Amino acid sequence: MTISTEPEKTAEPSETPARKDRALAPIRTVTQRFGAATVAFAMIATVFGAVFAVLTPAFWGHDEITQFGRAYQVAHGGVFPQRIVDDRGVAYGGQIPVSVDALMGYAFRDYNDNPEEPDAMVADPGAYDRLGAAEVSSATRQMWFTNTAAYSPVPYVPAAVGIRLGEALGLDVGGLSLLTRFAGLVAYLAVVGFGLYALRGRRSQWLVFTVAVLPIALFQAGTVTADTLTNALAIMVSALLLKALFVGDRLHRAETAALLAATIALPLSKPTYVLLAMLVVVVPADRLGFAGKLKFVPSAFAVTGGVLFLAWTKIAAPTGDGMGLMRPPHQWGQVRPGDQLKGILSDPVQFVHTFGESIALRDHRWFNQFFGELGFAYVDVPAISMLACLLAFAVSFGIVDRMNASTATFRRTLIVALTVLASVAMIYVTLYMSFTPVDFYLIDGVQGRYFVPLAIMGLAVLARVVPLRLTNSDGVIPTRGTAITIACASTFALVATAATYYTVVWG
């Protein structure tokens, strides 16, 4: 037995926690000021949004070719849909630099001509480097993007800023594409981060966090698409409605201003979410900081948003006649919105039957796509990622703030529930009219990612109806351990998703 002559280190056990406390003090200060979910979102979304922006081959995002085309048009002053000449039929589009079009054309051929597994989907990685290294040419050519010409300029503002900045910096084609993606990511971080910051004092922040960092949400935030800002606005609106309508807190001035601004911007971003923005009128005026005659201010903004939505819908309506060109050649001319609308009104039973057939044949795909079908590589997130996301949802839902009749009355909850259901119905009806051929056997074009912006309000209604919450042995709802679980599960889902995408696409 050896006897040590060194003095006993009695101070070590107390010094170690003290040192840890000092080391963690800055982190605690930041999380206390901005909210733990806000900080976690900022870190996770920045890292994985950037990973997807770099990892995804140029123009392999969802409709990224036509999304970039519309963004380029907006960046150069193109506000309204522009009719172009096309021998195939009605078409809308604009001009695009020839060198950008060359990379678009190569990407289109590459993701449409894939070898069998286990070969990588990208045939020649060097081709993207060579084409991306070209200067952005002054010469342009006509480009077709009827499907995105229908969107207002609002959701393309971040991408348009990125394009103009890239041109000012003299970036090459690849640099311009990447900077445009990063511009959208920055907008997503700022808008969603603001919504999470508003909930920093509430456990409900983690429910919003779980939706905001879904693999599909961050994949889209890392590519060029109108959905980046649309999703961000919808998540922020949902977070503020959750705080004011369900939790019962009064919004600060900046939060009220953001909610009112989004009441106008969200309907102009995507028609299917117009009703979500209109929910501002359900929030008690005093929780928005209005009293007396000013209590009608939210209604005025809602009316303005609705009127602008209707105005843009009328402007963009003619583009629907050209959507058939997105179908296979034998279906050109068979997408006729007018005929579909007449069919719904004259034979609603048949439409309900078609809707039922769509559910029976496609609901499993929509479920997978809610978590992620990544771009035009059509890579599904792995099952382990879905399980991790479901764990995060279960825990975040389990610790959400208790909601009772004093904060969210039955009438208001019912209005929100009906609004969510009506918004879901609008997704189906819109795609039935604008993308589905007449007499087709199902409603085509529906994707699970379209339901992500409605998830928070849907879960809020469920939390109001279902009083069950997670508690420890003392009957207390835990916060630290559950927050760590949610953040870790979401991060794991994203790591697995990125690894799968890289393996399938790049090999």
Q: How confident is the model at residue 407 (pLDDT cuts 50, 70, 90)?
A: confident
Backbone φ and ψ of 94, nearest 5°: -175, -160
Which of the two residues, 9 and 224, has the higher pLDDT score? 224
Structure tokens at 461: 């209604």
Which residue, 216, 277, 66, is CA-closest to 156? 66
> Over pLDDT 90: what percentage of the chain?
82
DSSP 374: E
Residue 13 located in a structural domain:
no
Give pLDDT, residue 1. Answer: 36
> Is the torsion defined by CA of 383, 389, 391, 397 positive or negative?
negative
Please compute, for residue 364, the number of CA atoms within 13 A of its CA located in the half-sphere on the CB side: 3
Summarize pLDDT for 332-366 with one digit per residue, the tens: 888 888 899 999 999 999 999 999 999 999 999 99
- Are the beta carbons of 94 and 145 closer than 8 angstroms? yes
Residue 26 located in a structural domain:
no
Q: What is the DSSP string of 426-461?
A: HHHHHHHHHTSPTT-SS-TT--GGGGHHHHHHHHHH
Q: How confident is the model at residue 19 (pLDDT cuts 50, 70, 90)?
A: low
CB neighbour class for 129 (10 Å; exposed up to 12, middle 13-18, buried from 19): exposed
Beta bridge partner(s), residue 92:
83
**Beta strands 379-380; 140-144: pairing state:** unpaired
The angle subtended at Cα 69 by Cα 446 and Cα 260, nearest 5°, is 65
* Other CB atoms within 10 Å distance of the CB of residue 306: 17
Summarize pLDDT for 201-232 with one digit per residue, the tens: 999 999 999 999 999 999 999 999 999 999 99
Q: Where are the alpha helices (DSSP H) in 154-172?
A: 157-168
Structure tokens at 236: 């922020």
Give pLDDT, residue 31. Answer: 78
Q: How confident is the model at residue 16 (pLDDT cuts 50, 70, 90)?
A: low
Q: Which pTM does this prediction carry? A: 0.93
* Other CB atoms within 10 Å distance of the CB of residue 502: 15
Summarize pLDDT for 97-137 with one digit per residue, the tens: 999 999 999 999 999 998 888 899 999 999 999 999 999 99
- Is residue 22 predicted with pLDDT exceeding 90? no
The whole-chain average pLDDT of the chain stands at 92
Structure tokens at 186: 């920055």
- Are the beta carbons of 470 and 395 closer than 8 angstroms? yes
Structure tokens at 297: 């201010």
- Is residue 174 predicted with pLDDT exceeding 90? yes
Residue 21 located in a structural domain:
no
Residue 161 located in a structural domain:
yes
- Count of residues making up the chain: 507
Residue 23 located in a structural domain:
no
Which residue, 264, 253, 248, 266, is CA-closest to 294? 253
- Are the beta carbons of 224 and 159 closer than 8 angstroms? yes
CB neighbour class for 287 (10 Å; exposed up to 12, middle 13-18, buried from 19): middle
Name the residue range of residue 66's domain: 34-506
Interatomic CA distance for residues 365 and 353, integer angstroms: 19
Give the number of domains in the chain: 1
Q: What is the DSSP string of 274-297?
A: HHHHHGGGGS-GGGGT--GGGGGH
Residue 17 located in a structural domain:
no
Give pLDDT, residue 10. Answer: 35
Structure tokens at 176: 């311009």
Give pLDDT, residue 12. Answer: 41
Residue 473 located in a structural domain:
yes
Residue 25 located in a structural domain:
no
- Are the beta carbons of 75 and 159 closer than 8 angstroms? yes
Interatomic CA distance for residues 240 and 238, integer angstroms: 5
DSSP 84: -
Q: How confident is the model at residue 24 (pLDDT cuts 50, 70, 90)?
A: low
The angle subtended at Cα 213 by Cα 208 and Cα 217, nearest 5°, is 105
